[in-house]
Amino acid sequence: MVFSNLFFIYLFLPLNLLLYFAVKNQTWRNVVLLGFSLVFYAWGEPIWVFMLILTALLDYFWARCIERFRAQGNRLRMKLALAASLCFDLGMLGVFKYSGFFMENLNAVTGLSLPVPRIALPIGISFYTFQTISYVVDVYRGTVSAQRSFYRYLMYLSSYHQLVAGPIVRYSDVAAEIENRSTTVQDFSEGITRFCIGLSKKVVVANVAGGLVGQYLDAPLHSLSTAGAWFGALLYSLQLYYDFSAYSDMAIGMGRMFGFHYPENFNYPYISHSVTEFWRRWHISLSSFFRDYVYIPLGGNRRHQIANLCVVWLLTGLWHGASWNFVLWGAFYGALLILEKKGLLKILEKIPRLFSHLYLLFITLVGWTIFYTTDLGRLGGYLRVMFGLSGQPLTDPQLGITFANQLFWLLIALLFCMPVTQWVKHRLQENPTKAKQTAVCVATAMMNVVLLFICTSMLVGDSYNPFLYFRF
């Protein structure tokens, strides 16, 4: 089950809201949310819900142990409990996500023919693994108290709003709201609006882009023009941004409906002027996780900075998928960030902002091409076409036809990569009056109805509704 599904939109979510607000006791509201979250996760493959529960149970236990050992002044046992938690969490992630990749490469290097495991990947395992790791580490650091109630901890870890596609919500972000929260009319209305915006980004933009991406990124290389190769990279860049940010928007919106305030995960990354700025705006919860739990503990900027960046970006690449193109993608961005820290960033700050922005767009288009293409041989061929090194023509007639047919949609997609909605919201909030506030509320409600109608119409008539995060 995914958020951009008519069953979810018109039955699952309304039923969850109805039952949730039908009970007044916070304990029972948590139980209702937990029950729906487990049903949501078990919908596609019920067996994996037991691994989710096991992970929650063990980390709940180890966090309690860490807190008890701290009260006893036993640092050694605290470290052993933390090590046990990390070994289990990372071990499960390694088995399910990387065992096949490891065996394939071991066979290739050694010439052996060892059996390669083909294990289905539990949906969202990378997201909830990082959430539970952050919880246990924060308990170890003493920045949060261990949760006393197992079902409350399980509700935090399994909450379907952000379980399968983020954002990565730390326990500290919602600890108080797990215990006691309320939903105001403003929270609920803003949550609906955020959900509808996210849904429209997914259905109207991301799905349309995804339907075109394969025509270029998967096309025979001999049929591609240089402009076509860049156009394919642009389409994929739009699909990935609108798809991923859409799920974050819907997660944040649903959280608001239930009284949670999840952190923002995207901040218009394509308006950036450097790779450094880009990664402060793209998938913010993942970047902050690696900063706080890997980069800074390794020494951060104080010592071994370059080595620390290399480790972080190797892990970042592998987190996205068990394939060499993700390792290459991580190395690509790691190298660029090192260059920027060693002086390139100062140059980018001095040159006209148009050129620094073009630099960032160029980097992201190349980067997402690497991200998309798992076959390294094809990746090399595609990049040669992009840079005009393959003898292919500069452009082709079919590209012109496709561009003309998609021009309006493309302009809309490019426009909303910029903070247009933020600007509109700011202008509407200037000099507020009761009449103005009423008009804004009415207009927002009408917008939500229109967006929901458009998305419903497109979902009814189109079977193409991909979920990009199965590898996570």
DSSP labels for 153-212?
A: HHHHHH-TTTTTT-----HHHHHHHHHS----HHHHHHHHHHHHHHHHIIIIIIHHHHHH
Measured over the CA atoms of residue 202, residue 204, residue 205 and residue 211, the dihedral's sign is: positive
For residue range 299-342, what is the model confidence (pLDDT) as tens digits? 988 889 999 999 999 999 999 989 999 999 999 999 999 999 99
Whether residues 257 and 176 share a domain: the answer is no
Burial 279-290, CB ≥16 within 10 A → b, else e: bebbbbbbbbbb
Last residue of a domain, one of 154, 181, 208: 181
For residue range 345-393, what is the model confidence (pLDDT) as tens digits? 999 999 999 999 999 999 999 999 999 999 999 999 999 999 999 889 9
Whether residues 320 and 385 share a domain: the answer is yes
Res 236 pLDDT > 80? yes
Return d(Cα 328, Cα 366) in angstroms, integer. 12
Whether residues 126 and 253 share a domain: the answer is no
Res 465 pLDDT > 80? no
Res 448 pLDDT > 90? yes
* Residue 301 confidence (pLDDT): 86
Return d(Cα 344, Cα 350) in angstroms, integer. 10
Res 462 pLDDT > 80? no
Return d(Cα 300, Cα 294) in angstroms, integer. 9
Whether residues 140 and 192 share a domain: the answer is no
Q: How many domains does the chain have?
A: 2
Whether residues 370 and 430 share a domain: the answer is yes
Average pLDDT over residues 128-137: 96
Supply the residues annotated as catalytic.
320
Q: Is 80 among the domain residues? A: yes
Q: Is 228 among the domain residues? A: yes
334 — phi, psi (to 5°)? Answer: -60, -45
Average pLDDT over residues 69-77: 95
Give start and end residues of each alpha helix (H) in 258-283. Answer: 275-281
Q: Of 59-68, 160-169, 226-235, 426-435, which gets the smallest average pLDDT?
A: 426-435
Return d(Cα 61, Cα 88) in angstroms, integer. 13
For residue 134, the enclosing domain spans 6-181
Return d(Cα 78, Cα 71) in angstroms, integer. 10
Q: Is 469 among the domain residues? A: no
Contact 281, 269 (CB under 8 A): yes
Average pLDDT over residues 102-125: 87
Whether residues 216 and 88 share a domain: the answer is no
- CA-to-CA dists, residue 323 to 140, 319, 373, angstroms: 33, 10, 10
Last residue of a domain, one of 125, 148, 181: 181
Last residue of a domain, one of 128, 154, 181: 181
Whether residues 164 and 233 share a domain: the answer is no
For residue range 172-214, what is the model confidence (pLDDT) as tens digits? 999 999 989 988 999 999 999 999 999 999 999 999 999 999 9
- One-letter amino acid identity for 59? D
119 — phi, psi (to 5°)? Answer: -105, 125
Contact 165, 248 (CB under 8 A): yes
Whether residues 151 and 193 share a domain: the answer is no
In 3D, which of 131, 199, 137, 204 has the Cα closest to residue 171?
131
Q: Is 140 among the domain residues? A: yes
Whether residues 205 and 328 share a domain: the answer is yes
Return d(Cα 174, Cα 292) in angstroms, integer. 18
Whether residues 172 and 243 share a domain: the answer is no
Q: Is 470 among the domain residues? A: no
Q: Regarding predicted confidence, which is higher, 429 or 224?
A: 224
Whole-model pTM: value is 0.93
Q: Is 1 among the domain residues? A: no
Whether residues 201 and 56 share a domain: the answer is no
* Residue 115 confidence (pLDDT): 87
Sorting pLDDT into bands at 50, 70 and 90, what band is 429? confident
Q: What is the mean pLDDT of the chain?
A: 92
Q: Which helix (DSSP H) or strand (DSSP E) does residue 110 occupy?
A: helix 99-110
Q: Is 472 among the domain residues? A: no
Q: Is 85 among the domain residues? A: yes
Whether residues 281 and 161 share a domain: the answer is no
CA 409 to mean position of chain CA atoms: 24
